[in-house]
Structure formats: C-alpha cells, structure tokens
Chains A and B, each alone.
Chain A
Amino acid sequence: MIATAAPGWFLEHAYVIPLIPAVAFALIIAFGKRIPDTRIGRYTIPGGGSLIGVASMLGSLFFAAGAALQWIQYTDGENYVAAVRKSWVWWQSGGIEIGLGQQIDGLSVMVLLLVAFISTLVQIYSLEYLKGDRRYTHFFASLTLFSAGMLVMVLAENMVQLILGWEIMGLCSFMLIGHWWEEKANSRASLKAFFTVRTGDIGLLVGTAIVGLSAQKWITANGLQDQYSGFSIEGISRWALAGDSQYKSVLTWGAVALFIACIGKSGQFPLHTWLPDAMAGPTPVSSLLHSSTMVVAGVFLVARLYPVFFEGLRILDTNVNLIAVIGGITIIVAALLAFVQTDIKKVLAYSTVSQLGYMMMGLGVGAWTPAVFHIWTHAFFKCCLFLCAGSVAHSGSHHSFDMKKDMGGLWRKMPVTFVTWTISSMALAGVPFFAGWYSKDEIIDIAGGNQYWVFFAIGLAGAFLTTAYMTRATYLTFFGKARGAAAGIHDENHSDAHAPAPSAHGAADAHDAHDAHDAHDSHAGPHESPWLIKGPLVILATLAIIAGLINAPAFKIFKFEEWVEPKAMPVSLTGETIHEGSARNISVGAFGLRTSSEGESERKPVAAEGDGHSPTEGESGAEEHSAGYPGSAIEEGHLTGDCGTPGFVPAAGTTCYAPGVIHHEFEWVKALPAFLLVVLGFIISSAVCVTLYGKKRRPLAGLTERNIIARGLYKFLWNRYYLDALYEGVIVRGIAHPLARAMYWLNQNVFDGIVNGAGRSGRKVGEITYKYVDQGLVDGVVNGSGAAARGTGTALRPTQSGKVSQYGALLFAAAALAALILVLVNS
C-alpha cells in the first residue's frame, strides 16, 4: 500500500520552524535592548526582547505541532513512508550541489516538537528566573539562537546543514555557559565546553568527508545524482544499506569518525568532562542544554545516520561494538560520579551523562526505537529536574546550589517544587508507569533479547545506581535538617559568594556567586517560587508521568513505534513498498544475529524462507514469542524488514532507508529485575542517607576519614577519575605552554634564524668579496642570493637602507610612468 495522502502544508513547510527563532534572534539583537518593561495594571510585561524569544518559540511550537499531527495522519504505521524532503542550492563545487533544506520523517518531527516545546517552557521560566540580569537581552538572544541551531540540525537535509546547526549550538553553549564571564571560572567552563566538543568535531568533519564523498561516488555510479547529493541524509542511508562490499571499510571509518563527534557532543566517556562544568551557566540554560538540545545532538546524529553506524560498526552482527561499549561505560562511570557531588546541578549533570549513555547503548544494541523514545521521555523529566533545582536556588536556598551547605528540609516550604521533583526523579529512576520506565526498560529488554548480556547487566546496574543517587539528592535537598540558606542564614552565603571556590572543584563552583548578583533578591527565607516558575514545573511533571504512555509495551500501545520508527523494507525508488520479506518473526541466536561459527547467519535462513507475508500479517504475527530470558538461548522477536540483515542486498530498483529493529514481546517477568533493583536502590540509599546525613544518629558520618578504602574510592571519584587533571593539566597545558613555546622558539631561532643568519653571513661574504676578490668573479647565482642576503643583513642596520629605497623609487617611478602611458594609449 502506498501512502497516497499528500503530506500536508505543515510538513511541506517544516523549514519555517527553525526560521522563526533565527529571525527572532536577529530582532532581539537589533532591538531587544530598546524595549523597556511596561506596566499594565498589576502586571509587568518584561522588555529586553525576551518576549520576542518566547513568541518565536511559541510560533515554532505551533508549526511543529502542526507538522506532528500531519505526520501522524501521513504515516500508516505499516509501510515505509517517504520523508518530506526539500532542498535549495546552498553551495556547489565541482558539479556537486549541496543544499539547505529539510528532511522530515518521524524522527525529525518528534525531536522538532520536543525541542520547540521544551524551549518554550524554558524561556517562560527564564522570564522570572533571569529577571534583572545584567545581560537579560543577550541571554534571550542566545537562548533563541540555541533553539534555532538545534532545530536546524534536526531537520537537516544533509550533513553540511547538520554541521551548521551543530556548530551554532556549540557557539551558543559557549555564550550561555559563559554568561557571567566576569568570573574566570565561568569563562573557563565555557571554553572547556567549546573545546571538548570541538575536539570531537574533528570526527564530524572527517566523518562527513568520508561518508559524504563515498556516498557521492555510489550515488553517481547508480545514477541517482539528480535525487540526492552524497551528503544528504537519505543518500547516505541508502548507500550504507546497499550492501555494496567495496565500501565496507569506508563505512567503518566513517562510523567511527562520526561517533567521535557524538562522544564529544553527547558527553560520552571519555569526553564527558565538560558537561558538569557547563553548570556554570544559568540554570535554564543547563535545563535546555541537558534535556532536548545540545547533548542530545550526538544521540540524534547516531539515530539519524543509523544505517551508517549499523553497517559500519556491525551492530547486531557482532557481540560487541563501539557504540554499545562507550554507552555502557558512560552509564556506570557517570552514575558513580553523581554520588559524590554536593552541587545539586552537578548531580543532575552526571545523571544526564548517564542517561545519554543509556540512549547510546540502546542504539548500540539495536534498540533504535526505545533509544529514540528515551530522548523523548528523558527531555521532560530532566528539564523538570533542572528547573526544580533552579526553583530551589531561586526561592529556597538563596541562589546556592550546594545541597550539603544550603539545603535540607525544604519539602514543607516548597511543596510544588518538591512534588514535581519527586515525580521527575521517579521517572528518571525508571519506577514503573512513569515515563522513563517505558523507554529505559525497553532498552534493557532489547539488550537482553538481542543477547547482549553484558549490556543488559549494565542497564540493570544503571537503574540501581540512578535510583540510589537520586534518592540521595532528594534527601539532601528536601529532607533532613535545614542548613545554611535553607534555614534562613544568609550572611555566610554572601561572603562565600565572593570567596574563591575551593580548588578541587574550582572550575565551576562559582556559579552560585553569580546567581547572587543577578537574579533578583528577596531575603524572605525559603518560600515557594512564583507561577512563571511553577507553571513549567507542573506541566513538565505531568508529562513525566504521561509522556511514556504513547509507547507502552506493557499495555500494548505502540504508537511511538508506529509514528517514528522507519520501516526497514526495501522500497522502490518511487516509494512503493516491496511486499516480499517485510515484517515477520525471527529467532535470535546467541549474541544476537552474529554470524555463527559455522559461517551461517541465523537470520539468513529465515530471510530465504521469506514467504511474502503481508505487513499486516507480520504485525499481528508477532504474538508467538520467547519463553523469556535468561532461561533459553534462543530468543524471538519481530522484525519489520530485511534491511540491514547480513548479506542482504536490496533488489535492483529498490532501496533501503533504515535497518530493522527487533522488538521483543513485553512480559512482566522480564520487567521484574529492573523494578527490584530500583526498589533496592531506594531502600539502601535512603538508609545510607539517614545514617549519613540524618538528624539524629549518624553512624556512617566520617566514614571516608576512617576507612582507607572508602577514602580512596571517594578521592578517586571526587577527582573525577583524574580525567580532568589529565586533559587540562597534561594535554592542554602541555600544548599551550611548553609545546607552543618550543615551536615559537624554533620559529624565532631556527626558521627566522636561518633568514637572519643568511643575511648576516651574506653581508660578510659580500664584504670579503668586495674587499679581496674581484667583483667580476661573482657569478649570477651568488649575486642573486648575495643580494637578498645582504639586504636582510642590512636590515639589522637600519641606517644602511638607502640602496633599497633607491631601487624601490626607481621601480616605482618606472611603473607609474609605464602605467600612465598605457592609460593614455588604451583609452
């Protein structure tokens, strides 16, 4: 069945979604400062251009929502539906035209909607949070451009446009993290963010070159150059899934290079170090950065170019791959760090890193749909958590983010913040029936189902750790004894704000000091935040509960899968589905679909049997299912197409756009281990918190001083595995100082030394020659070099420059004369 309906106006014109904030950015920069606050009755309408930003995000949200609705009508959930593409020539080079345009499919529609929605809420929140800030207008301008950058990236038709959005975000993160650049710690943090991401971007540039130009070759060879350039997302996807063996190694290199970029952008181990420092920016920035923009970009890129990674890194085809490994390590490494933070925002920062690890790992084990779904659910509750932290700092802890020093017992004072925080934490921890559960659990489920046992275990361990550190953060913030600012003690805080931050965490700890200057002040003690802050919190917390319901395997709701997951069927060039070999059941051998030692792929025989199931049959046929793991070694699932299967080459005239995702049937038994670990995490962590930070007896307090192992571990974590020391202390310092100086020394003393030396010695030679040897003996070659050398030597004695001037004057006069004659003759 061909999707016959026209895509609709909103889909055809989705490019306006990023255009609106881009224009708004220009307007804010141009006029923002001239717009004053106006008072209407009791209300103050904020000026400074902030409302332009909010309005533009609302506009984007409107168009994104329209596009999403039309997309839902446009897809039918069973067949491949062609993306709505558009492209205008942006630059041409050597016959290849690269465009600026849009590539609208389920994935981009979903992220567009998400970004527009979250940005709108964050901007509304910022109206209050940043009130009275000294760079209020700049803040809103950057925030708007930031969203525009993400939106450009999301609907990018090709890799170059994607890079554009990607780098705009880099720039904006630089401006926003360093928003209060007067303090060195903040400008350092912004530099660090920009650099680390930029280091990853080496991979982006190289990877784009690799896949783009290779795909171009394939496209030209197959006569498709009128449809695509080699850099277009679809062109690359088709090339990657074409099964052309001559591109195998190129694909691998391209995938590795691009993944390095994703490591940098999405804060994956070992380039995650910039993310916690990025907390130096205002809280709404952290919230936006960590929920739907910037850090999600890396995950998005992997999802967007999934065919490249799928084929290049042989996902499902080997029992381990780069993406899964990096994602898995990141989950654990970041979660552990979250335990030793005293700064509430840093706990959340590491939590983001860890959750991004889940997404990456999901993509690495073939769980495309739940990983992308996790982008969706995570955005709501993570945004909410950050905004809660901001709310606490804004109204509860007097602009401090230090949980140990300035918080505690706030739940009574800030009930709305507390409730929304708790809901979001539960969603984050993956408590059943909260949004995060649906996505996270399916990632873990597919990791197990596809026989990635190590990553399955990591996923479970991550769930335990997540619950534990969130319990700790919740306890420190909202329970226990009120401390510092939360208890109404301000003086200490003020003096503290100006004292240099302790060196161990020096880089970003100073942010609290700035909030103290910038946000408006009220010395009324802890209280609940105003509605501009509470409103977004409530909306987001609601979504943290219900946003997961659109894809709830537990209730057999697969809407998200239907709308967003690209169908892995070979499609004729005109977009028709080829019915043979579409959705059907498959069995999965040990280690997923890896070719077994006999050299026979488990998937192949099935593919050979492909008996022309109609797609509908396939969908309903997904009932016969596994006996649950880890009992049996053979797992069954349903696969929506052959694309990406080892050895599968689409028939002539057909093409693949996406590799298949194997979905496994949900069973309550399988969800049980994760749930038990969550409960366990909660119980253990609560117990530890009460005994460590509690009001009465604290038997565990001071353990790190008493126990050498605990101390060592704590120190190791507190110093963030010494990765920062390695990067900043060794690598950056090494290049910026000794290496650069050595190079400059080389420049001055060797390269320039040769020039000057040649000059000096040339002059000597000249003198000697003049003195002792007949000038006529000096032949042409020596003359030439001698002249130059003498000149340089003369340079050392400015008084002798007469000769050059004479020569120069002569040449000048001659040229001027000649030119003049010419003008007269020719005109």
Chain B
Amino acid sequence: MLTDQNWVLSVGVFLPLAGVLVMMFIPKSDELLVKFVGLLAALATLGIGIYTLAEFDYGQAEKLQFAVNTSWIDVIHSRYIVGLDGLSLPLYILSMVITVLVMIYSWNHVPSPGNPKAFYMLMLVLQVGMAGTFVAQDLVLFFVFFEIVLLPMYFMIGVWGGENRQYASLKFFLYTMFGSAFMLVAFLALFFKTGGTTFSMTQLADLVQQKYAEGGLTSTTMNLIFAGMALGFAVKVPMFPFHTWLPDAHTQAPTQGSVILAAILLKLGTYGFVRIALPILPQAAKVFAPWIGLLSVIGIIYGAWCCLAQTDMKRLIAFSSVAHMGFVMLGISTLTSYGINAAMFGMVAHGLITGMLFFVAGSVKDRYHTLEIKRLSGMLKQVPKLGWIMGFAAMASLGLPGLAGFWGEFPAILSAFEPAKGNVDLAIGPLSVNLYRTFMIIASIGTVFAAGYLLWLYQRTAFGTPTAEFAGLGADADDQDDHAHGAHDAHEGAEDTGHADGHHEKLHDVGIFEWIAWAPMLAAIVFFGVYPQAMFKVFDPAVSLISKKFGG
C-alpha cells in the first residue's frame, strides 16, 4: 500500500538545513559542539532515510511514493513535485549514508586549514542538494538541486583542497556549469515546444509523445533537446571526452570531497539520464544511444590506460572512475532493463567502492604525507589493516564476484549482447546488435585492464618491503621479534638504523573513527555482492517501466 506520508521526503531533504541553522549560532572555536551538531543533523536525516526505507512499498517500487505536488514558483510554472520510486531510493539513501560516514571520518580528519564549522555546514548543504536531486520530479526543481550541489563542493575543493586547489575547483565549477547551461536550455525548450503547463517530468513525457504523434514535435527538435540534456549529464558523469575536470577535482579535493564526489555527485549525471533523458525523449535516446555506447567503451579503455600511466595514487583512482562510469553508461546505452539495472547497481557499487578507495587514499596521505606510488611500498607490512582494506576495495573495484562491483560490471556486459529491440508503437527501431556486441567485447577487455591498474597499484604500494624513507615507522618495527630467522631481519635491521633519523612520525594503523566510517561501507560491499537481489528487486520494476518504451 502506498503511504501518503507526504512530509517524509521534504523533511528528509531539508532537515540538514536545520543543522546548518543551529550551527550558525555556535562559535567557530567550539569545534566539538559544531561537529556534534553537524553529525547529529546528518544522523537525524539518515533516521528519516531509514524510516523511508521501512515505509517504502516494495511491491509497487515502480510508482512514485511519498509524493508531494504543490505550487512553488507559479510565475515560471514550476511546481514543488517530489516523489520516490525504486530508481531514486537506493541513491537517495546512499547520499544520506555517505554524508554521515564522511562526517564521522572528519571527526579527527578535518583537512587543513581546519574550520570544522564551515566544513560541516558545507557537507550538510551538499546533502540537501544531493538528496533533493534524487527526489525532484519537476525539471526546474531538479535543476535547482543539481546546481546547489556545485557550490559546497566548489568551496570544499577551493578551500580545503591540495596545492592546485583553485585551478581545480574553478575548473570543476565552470565545466559543470557549462554543461548545465545546455541542460537548462534543453529543459526550457522542452517546456515551450511541448506547450506544457508545468515542468513535471511525467507530464512532459506524456506531452512529448502526444506532440510527436501529432507532428507538432519533429525528431530534429527532440534530438537537439536530448543533446542539450545529454551534454549536461555527460559532463557530470563524466563521460569521455568531458572528463578532464574529474582527475583534477579529485586529486585536489580533500578526502571527504573526493568521497562525496565519487560516491554521489557523479551519479547525478547517470541518474539524470535514467530519470529524465531516457523516459522523456525515448526516440532521441535511441538515436543517441549508439554514440553514448561508443563513448562509454572508449571511456572504459581510455580510463584504464590513463590509470596505468599514473604516478599518483589518488589520480589513479580518479581515472578509474572514468572507466567505471563507462560501464554504467554502457548499460544505460543499451536501453534494456538488463543494462539499466546494471547501471543502477553500478552507480551504488561504484559509490561504495570508489568512495572506499578514496578514503583509503586519504588515510595513506594522512600517514605518509604523499600519494606518490614510487615512494610507497610494503604498506601491508607497516599498516597491515589499511593495506588489507585497500586490497579488499581494489578487488571489489575490479569486479570480483561476491563483491558489489561485479553486479555493475557483468550485467552491463551481458546487456550489450542484446540491446533494445525497439518499440513499434513509439516508432523506435532496434539498436544495432553487431555494434553492441563489439562494445561488449571491448568492455570485457576493459575488465582485464581494470585488474591491471588496480593490482599493479596494489603490488607497488602494499606488497614488498617499505621504502628506505619510511622503513621502521610502522608495524614492521614492532614485530621484529616475531621473525625467528636471522639473516633477513638483520638485513632489515640495518636499514632501520640507517633511517631512524628520518623526519616522519610513526605510522599508526586504522583508527577508531576510520573503522566506524568504513565498516558500514565494507559491509555493504560484501552484502550487496553476496545478495544483489536486495537492490535489484528495488529498482527492477521502475527500470522495466522505462525499458518498456524501448521494447525491452
């Protein structure tokens, strides 16, 4: 039964602002209280999220639930329409979880130059934008939320980022703005061309088909509108060749920024495709699908190769996102329920796994003050737990079955074997089978490269013995006695004394806040890997509704 508790989503989205409001009145110097209030707000929001999970009617996951439709900005015919279906639910909840976890991690990891008050406030605002985007059912509302996200992230990178932060943050901001400008134009064109009375997504989708059938909307117009939207979303995803902001933003962003960026922000783009571009303009989607597919597989290979060339761990992980989002987009481009399901799963899986990898990278940076692969070695010896977690995340990222990453990757490959068959009613033809089968093979070659760059990274950083620079600073120094066999240790011991006068402090293994922040993610990676049905059954009905338009 559908509940009509229409307050749930509005509260879930805007509750963090209450936290922001309270925090405004807390002096900056009272860091503990600031953090506490921030975390409390995020936890309360998550509480609403869990309530939403419990109240959600999984039997009707294809329907919009907790819907609100009320007037908002009448002048521009925009209404406040929010609702949640199986497509939105996982991402909506993920955004809340990630925010809480990032805040926990930040408890003792506020990046320089400090100021947790501003940092926590920004994260809460970010949360509003992310959650809002996933529930908005009105294009203008969607756009507003989509843009709200930009600012906190811009400041996060620009203020708390690395050396080159200002370049990176501006590039991030402007590149995305550039894309969303086209998106906005497309939204407006859609509204005017169809003669809509609101910006409601469902209404516009119906109007498009009506107008198209009447001949009031030409394919060219639809294609142009689609192109505008697609550009906006593609930059956000980011799809090759619009990805160049990503490595810079990721590399320069503080750990928390990278995690949120990877876990949620990139999904706004792919979600946009599934929620808006495909259902509203199916005919145009079919026209563009092969090109999207092509760019996706190029992205898969290209991203992987760029990864192989990296010397910086964080930049490598950033490029791996390009490759992984390629799989997601490939799934979407098949226009089948297989593919879109894979994409939906891939979004969440990538969020968890790459988020985890960025967390690890952040912690490595914290300890070693460098992410240069060359200088890191033998992490498993020095910080064994961190090393293991990194290995785990790397394995998940390369798509090992039994862990979440597999279910985004393999079904996407599967789906390319048989792309959408087309739908005569909507005058949508079939996609080229041969083309997609070629994509399938290229994409599966990509999985080998994924194993390549991740394991090579792992071999260079975690395996082996610590480099001279850091030798003897970690757990390797403690368990000297454990080695009963003289010769090898004597060798190591000689190194230790040689570098004992280094300037580095002792390396400590995974700390308590890190454990609290990471454990849920690690558990989720295993849980969804072992029992993917838990998520597939949530979005499958909603996805089938979309793919039906393409004959799937």
Contacts and interface: CB of A to CB of B under 8 A. Distances in A.
Bound pair: A and B?
yes
Interface string A803-827: 0100010011001101110110111
Contacts of B451: 194-195, 198
Given A164-B401, A788-B178, A819-B14, A94 B341 contact: yes
A695 interface: no
Contacts of A741: 309
B467 interface: no
Given A208-B414, A820-B17, A187 B464 contact: yes
A792 B7 CA distance: 41
A747 B173 contact: no
A794 B10 contact: no
A497 B444 CA distance: 41
B148 A815 contact: yes
B5 interface: no
B547 A94 contact: yes
A170 to B, nearest CB: 8
A163 interface: yes
B166 interface: yes
B302 interface: yes
A822 B72 contact: yes
B306 A826 contact: no
Interface stretch (B84-92, B253-261, B483-491): B483-491
A178 B308 CA distance: 21
B170 A794 contact: yes
B447 interface: yes
Contacts of A516: 485
A184 B465 CA distance: 9
Contacts of B245: 755
Interface stretch (B27-35, B104-112, B203-211, B533-541): B533-541
Nearest to B418: A213
A819 B128 contact: yes
B276 interface: no
B533 A92 contact: yes
Interface string B142-167: 00100110110011001000000011
Interface in A517-532: 517-518, 521
Contacts of B308: 735-736, 739-740
Contacts of A804: 154, 170, 173-174
B167 A798 contact: yes
Interface string A481-501: 000000000000010011000
Contacts of A752: 244
B485 A792 contact: no
B518 interface: no
B175 interface: yes
Given A208-B414, A784-B181, A94 B552 contact: yes
Interface string A124-139: 0000000010100000
Interface stretch (B36-44, B52-60, B455-463): B455-463
B282 interface: no
Given A94-B337, A747-B244, A815 B400 contact: no
A421 to B, nearest CB: 28
A823 B338 CA distance: 38
A206 B413 contact: yes
- Max chain B C-beta neighbours (<10 A), residue from A94, A181, A735, A816: A94
Interface string B325-361: 0000000000011100110000000000000000000
Contacts of A792: 170-171, 174-175
A735 B463 contact: no
A801 interface: yes
B402 A808 contact: no
A743 interface: yes
Contacts of B380: 181
Interface residues of A, number: 80
Interface in A284-342: none
Given A206-B413, A210-B417, A744-B310, A93 B338 contact: yes
A209 interface: yes
Contact of A795 (B170, B337, B341): B170
Interface in B424-471: 440-441, 444-445, 447-449, 451-452, 455-456, 459, 462-465
B148 A812 contact: yes
Interface string A712-745: 0000000000000000000000011001110110
Contacts of A163: 401, 410
Nearest to A164: B401
A642 interface: no
A784 B441 CA distance: 39
A168 interface: yes
Contacts of A160: 401, 410
A123 to B, nearest CB: 22
A792 B144 CA distance: 23
B459 A191 contact: yes
- Max chain A C-beta neighbours (<10 A), residue from B155, B243, B533, B547: B533
Interface residues of B, number: 94
B378 interface: yes
Interface in B3-23: 7, 10-11, 14, 17
B337 A791 contact: no
Contacts of A498: 487-488, 491
B10 A827 contact: yes
Contacts of B305: 735, 739-740, 743-744
B482 interface: yes
B196 interface: no
Contacts of B540: 92-94
A181 B11 CA distance: 51
A788 B170 CA distance: 10
Given A91-B536, A740-B308, A740-B309, A182 B378 contact: yes
Interface in A413-431: none
Contact of B241 (A497, A517, A751): A751
B10 A168 contact: no
Contacts of B440: 206, 209
Interface string A197-208: 011011001101
B166 A795 contact: yes
Nearest to A99: B533
Contact of A195 (B413, B418, B444, B448): B448
B241 A827 contact: no
B144 A182 contact: no
Contacts of B341: 93-94
A209 B417 contact: yes
A445 interface: no
B142 to A, nearest CB: 13
Contacts of A92: 533, 536-537, 540
A90 interface: yes
B456 A191 contact: yes
B395 interface: yes
Given A744-B310, A798-B166, A182 B444 contact: no
A213 B414 CA distance: 8
B146 to A, nearest CB: 11
A96 B547 CA distance: 14
A167 B244 contact: no
B174 A791 contact: yes
Nearest to A813: B151
Closest 10 CB pairs of A and B: A94-B337, A740-B308, A791-B174, A744-B309, A798-B166, A788-B178, A795-B170, A740-B309, A181-B463, A743-B305
28 contacts: A90-B533, A93-B341, A93-B536, A94-B341, A95-B337, A160-B401, A167-B400, A184-B464, A191-B455, A208-B414, A209-B440, A213-B417, A498-B487, A517-B483, A735-B305, A736-B456, A740-B305, A784-B181, A791-B170, A791-B173, A796-B167, A801-B166, A808-B173, A811-B148, A816-B125, A818-B144, A822-B14, A823-B17
Given A91-B411, A92-B533, A744-B309, 10 more contacts: A94-B540, A95-B337, A167-B401, A181-B380, A198-B451, A205-B414, A498-B491, A747-B302, A791-B173, A820-B17
